[in-house]
Amino acid sequence: MKKIHFISLKITISLLFFATNFSFSQTLNLTGIPNNEGINFISGKWADVLVEAKLKHKYIFVDCYTDWCGPCKWMAKNIFTTGIVGEFYNEHFINYKIDSEKGDGIEFTKKYKISGWPSFVFFDSLGNIVHIYQSTREAEEFIRVGKNAFNPDSALYSLKKRYDDGDRNDTLILNYMHALKNAYWFVTKYQDVAHQYLKHQNKEQLLTKTNWEFIKEYCTDITDPTFIYLIRDQDEFITKYGKQEVYEKIFLTKLNYYSRNNDWVNYALISEGYFKLIPDIDAETLNTIIWNFYEKVTDKLELKRSERWGKKLVAMSPSYTYLDTYAHLLSKAGDKSEAITVAKQAIAAAKKDNEDYSTTQEFLKQLNKIPSSLAPSLKRPQ
């Protein structure tokens, strides 16, 4: 669609907001009238946004993005432009966008520990940070994110203050863990909080549904006392929650731990046990494990063993993504001929489903050019 410029309207808007150095970022319809559906974002300096919020006694919502972030663009196109989202955010917030890699955004991102995108940062009317949320959300869920910024039982910084002041109420810790995860502070902060919570739970309490869900989500270190307890008394958890669910938790925790610590020898050993004990592994999990083998495992025997997992993956779901994963694994295992065959199947599946297969096509070209003895050195094109 061509971009339509309405010079007279642009001049009017510029004059209207000249005194305060603000303008509203609005979509124009074909008649040149501002379309009020969606979020109206103020443009200007961050310091001016703080002044505006104080004058209007309104909270601030900041969309923290980067130019290369696909999910950021999806939110801007599909969620920020919807009527119900605009109605809520325009009523309750001064709305502002900031590029994490340009201008004021660089210092802003560093100051508020933004580590992933999109990140949504909320401040009260005095400029005090109250909440951070990361990841895409549908319209109604995104409204709920905004509402959480006003709620001391869900806003991250309110929960953090109460926790830092010594509050160890179970409900508070559960809410705090949830907020930490949603802000992606989860990785650096959760272990201490989870440990404080779990160490006060007795054996019967740990077996409750609430705490089992907590263990599944937040107990991610194999050295954690609760995980050691889970291994020791796993039969009691299996009786209550089933072998598939408990084994998945145990093995995926170990795999994630060894992956984080780049221990690919133990990663391979644990994977072998996982597949023996959990025959009904889901395709997405299996695909992740196989891709880790392709990228990180160097032992030829382990790579050859993993080929049968690739066969199982594409038998479960012969989709483009899974066929592409299997083709790359075969190439690293040294089976160039079969890798070429599977790569062609991946491209055919992508064409059928109208998916982009350019990276696989480039991979196939490289594979056809080099001797079989060098096939394991191939990397997926970036």
3-class secondary structure per residue, the chain: CCCCCCHHHHHHHHHHCCCCCCEEECEECCCCCEECCCCCEEECCHHHHHHHHHHHCCEEEEEEECCCCHHHHHHHHHCCCCHHHHHHHHHHEEEEEEECCCCHHHHHHHHCCCCCCCEEEEECCCCCEEEEEECCCCHHHHHHHHHHCCCCCCCHHHHHHHHHCCCCCHHHHHHHHHHHHHHCCHHHHHHHHHHHHHCCCCHHHHCCHHHHHHHHHHCCCCCCHHHHHHHHCHHHHHHHHCHHHHHHHHHHHHHHHHHHCCCHHHHHHHHHHHHHHCCCCCHHHHHHHHHHHHHHCCCHHHHHHHHHHHHHHHHHCCCHHHHHHHHHHHHHHCCHHHHHHHHHHHHHHHHHCCCCCHHHHHHHHHHHHCCHHHHHHCCCCC
Among 98, 122, 150, where does a domain finish? 150
Residue 298 lies in a domain: no
Residue 337 in domain: yes
Task: Please tell me the predicted confidence (pLDDT) of residue 163.
Answer: 92
Better pLDDT: 233 or 199: 233
Split at pLDDT 50, 70, 90, the class of 10 is very low
Answer whether residue 177 is part of any domain.
Answer: no
For residue 379, pLDDT over 80 is answered with: no
Convert the pLDDT of each residue in 296-339 to its tens digit.
888 888 888 889 889 999 999 999 999 999 999 999 998 999 99
Is residue 125, in this structure, part of any structural domain at all?
Answer: yes
**128 occurs within a structural domain:** yes
Lowest mean pLDDT across 41-45, 54-58, 155-159: 41-45
Residue 104 domain-assigned (yes or no): yes
pLDDT at residue number 372? 47
d(CA 91, CA 242): 48
pLDDT, residue 346, reads: 94
For residue 371, the model assigns a pLDDT of 55
- The predicted pLDDT at position 27 comes to 35
**Are residues 212 and 241 in contact, defined by beta-carbon separation less than 8 angstroms?**
yes
User: Is the per-residue pLDDT at 202 higher than 90?
Assistant: no
Residue 192 has pLDDT above 80, yes or no: no
Predicted TM-score (pTM) of the model is 0.63
> Would residue 87 count as lying in a domain?
yes
Number of domains in the chain: 2
Per-residue model confidence (pLDDT) at position 276: 82
Q: What is the CATH number of the domain that holds 142?
A: 3.40.30.10
Whether 251 has a pLDDT exceeding 90, the answer reads: yes
Structural Rg of the chain based on CA atoms: 26
26 confidence band (pLDDT: 50, 70, 90): very low
The reported pLDDT for the residue numbered 187 is: 53
Q: What is the pLDDT of residues 136-152, one digit of tens each?
A: 999 999 999 999 999 99
Mean pLDDT of 106-130: 94
Query: Containing domain of residue 362, as a range?
Result: 307-382
The pLDDT value recorded for residue 158 is: 96
Residue 280 has pLDDT above 50, yes or no: yes
Residue 136 in domain: yes
Q: Is the pLDDT of residue 53 over 70?
A: yes
115, 150, 185 - which closes a domain: 150
Q: Would you state the pLDDT for residue 183?
A: 87
Using the 3D structure, point to which of 108, 133, 150 is the last residue of a domain.
Answer: 150
Least confident range from 186-195, 222-231, 272-281, 371-380: namely: 371-380
pLDDT of residue 186: 54
- Whole-number pLDDT of residue 92: 97
Range 263-272, long-range pairs (CB < 8 A, 24+ positions): 264/292, 264/296, 264/297, 264/298, 265/299, 267/292, 267/296, 267/297, 268/293, 268/297, 268/299, 268/302, 268/305, 268/306, 271/306, 271/309, 272/305
Which tens digits make up the pLDDT trace of 160-184? 999 999 998 888 988 998 898 888 7
pLDDT for 305: 83
